Amino acid sequence: MRRGGRNITEVDLPGIFEALEAHYGTQRPEWPLDPYLFLVWWHCGYPASDAACARGWKALSEEIGVRIEDLNAASLKEVTAALKAGGMVPDLRAQRLKQIVELIQQQFGGDLKGGLSAMPVARARAALKKFPNIADPGADRILLFAGLDPVAAAPSNCPHVLVRIRKGFERDNYGVTYREAQEMIESATPRSCEARQRAYLLLKRHGQEICKRTNPKCAICPMQSYCAYASGKMRGGSQRTPR
């Protein structure tokens, strides 16, 4: 599969990140980097999105506060009322925030980041997955953006982006797609938190705006010259999804 005389699959991955950054500019995280504060932010909105979580975070910060002592002092009813700004099931999200605070106090002495930094990475990841709504992608994201480990994290809602660009298809199985994206990031970026945060943020932005999970906007995509998926689509081909 060639474009401009060059095999698309031979385009180096660092070049892909450069092209994404040229289009979107430098990206910065819109969420708290501290592990505890991220867990609070993540439960401030549902369905979880940057916008919904930001609305819930703002309301919670202004009405109650986001520190452990703030959430401890507030009633479940008060937390629920504040979280309504972030969307659906505020009562369930309030219960989970209470669970998070209790777990951090009981198992980490109130200092989640300090406790995680004292653990081997595998153990820290396992500890994070004990929190509500945190699976492997969420644990990887927390470790990376807290600066605890330069894990090759892929955005949980769009791991397909890099896989589409390089392979022209994505897997039916989410876990397989996520692992393939991780392997590509691992091979293409220096083992540093800064480099892998940059990759994560660029892929996330592209997946949210253009390379959507359904109905991707290939016709206006700045990655057309690099993307095996777009090339197949423009030629009228189908993008298979091997298992």
Q: What is the pLDDT of residues 113-165, one digit of tens each?
A: 999 999 999 999 999 999 999 999 999 999 999 999 999 999 999 999 999 99
Domains and CATH numbers, the chain: 2-28+154-234 (1.10.1670.10), 35-145 (1.10.340.30)
CA-nearest of 110, 95, 216, 228 to 169 is: 228
The phi, psi pair for 196, rounded to 5°, reads -85, -25
CA distance 236 to 105: 56
Does the pLDDT at position 3 exceed 50? no
**Residue 235: which pLDDT band, with cuts at 50, 70 and 90?**
low
pLDDT digits (tens, 9 = 90+) for 193-222: 999 999 999 999 999 999 999 999 999 998
- Structure tokens that stand for 179 in this block: 């692992």
